[in-house]
Structure 1
């Protein structure tokens, strides 16, 4: 059969196409395994009982949100110094984080029209904390960090709220420990943040 002029390069090549699609699928599956592994490790650390029994974080829905936010901030600060693969992983992690928030909001019975507004609020909370905590960590100002943590974790408690100095001390220590994490550990989803009490998780 005669081939129409100019259309040869537009004809699909099934064998090559299948090979490329298989490679892309395998790569995406591999990447998702890395994302899932790293996100699970971060969320598991944020649920560590020690934070709630010894470091004055309230064991409430918002208390757990605050802890996961803090853990993710430490993760993002480390991956910001990484190669491209680490930064791409960080984007996948933040996407997973906000997907979880979206699901949680919907499970509470919030209507579809109200979800975007709630999501915008949580995004603002997250990035506001990223900015204020980073400023204190960069300056190695434990007292400044403790005040920021106290303000966010206990917004309505007033003078009776815990000082959050112990949580601030853990945060700065964990940040410093992350300098020893290698690029291979970051890229493979094996980044480990120092757990409270001196262990790692």
Structure 2
């Protein structure tokens, strides 16, 4: 490997960042915070970004095109590069950033598995429970906003269907079509 190989971009790096940026924009919809009651905190925002990125990664990994897995990895890499940068901008020291990013990765992975199991089964109740446990994590058992978690679960199921119906070419172009607020289930 020559010296220039160190500076070469990965094949799907730009597209991964474009897809990640679209997932973040969707996760920041005011409706999710004001209409459903997701806590507008660092944790609440992180959980919604995790959720939308997990949906996108799920869609990409499921595609029969062999580039799907590489593109899913590029989205994942973009997310954690952004998390690293955000922590540094918030003043977290270099010594601690790696540990925090590792905890974020573990949180993402655990949530993605819980959501994927419920999505695979098309089990809205299990998905709502996972969302209540993760998104409203400060709530004590039995007091999580059940109606809000159920509404978010129906939105997640709709977003999952919309992404599954999307042609791979639009994803490869970095243009996922997440449902707009007006298209979301009530």
Q: Is the 8 A contact 2:15 2:173 kept in 1?
A: yes
CA distance in 1, matches of 2:13, 2:134: 32
Alignment of 1:91-106 (within 5 A): 91-106=73-88
Give the structure-1-normalised TM-score.
0.79
Task: Write out per-residue CA displacement over residues 73-100 of structure 1, whole angstroms, 9 at most, x where no aligned residue.
Answer: 1101110122122322221111111111
Q: Is the 8 A contact 1:38 1:190 kept in 2?
A: yes
RMSD, matched Cα: 2.1
Other-structure match for 1:15: none
Query: Which structure 2 residue ranges, 5 or more long, are not aligned?
Result: none
Other-structure match for 1:89: 71
**Does 1:198 find its partner at 2:183?**
yes
Task: Write out per-residue CA displacement over residues 113-151 of structure 1, whole angstroms, 9 at most, x where no aligned residue.
Answer: 222211111110000001001111111111111111111
Alignment of 1:1-201 (within 5 A): 28=9, 31-82=12-63, 83-158=65-140, 159-163=142-146, 164-198=149-183
| Change in 2 beyond 3 A, CA 1:156/1:58 | closer
CA radius of gyration, larger in: 1
1:185 Cα deviation from its structure 2 partner: 1.2
CA distance in 2, matches of 1:179, 1:152: 24
Q: Is the 8 A contact 1:50 1:197 kept in 2?
A: no
Give the structure-2-normalised TM-score.
0.85
Runs of 4+ that moved beyond 3 A: 28-33
Query: Which structure 1 residue ranges, 5 or more long, are not aligned?
Result: 1-20
Aligned residues between the structures: 175
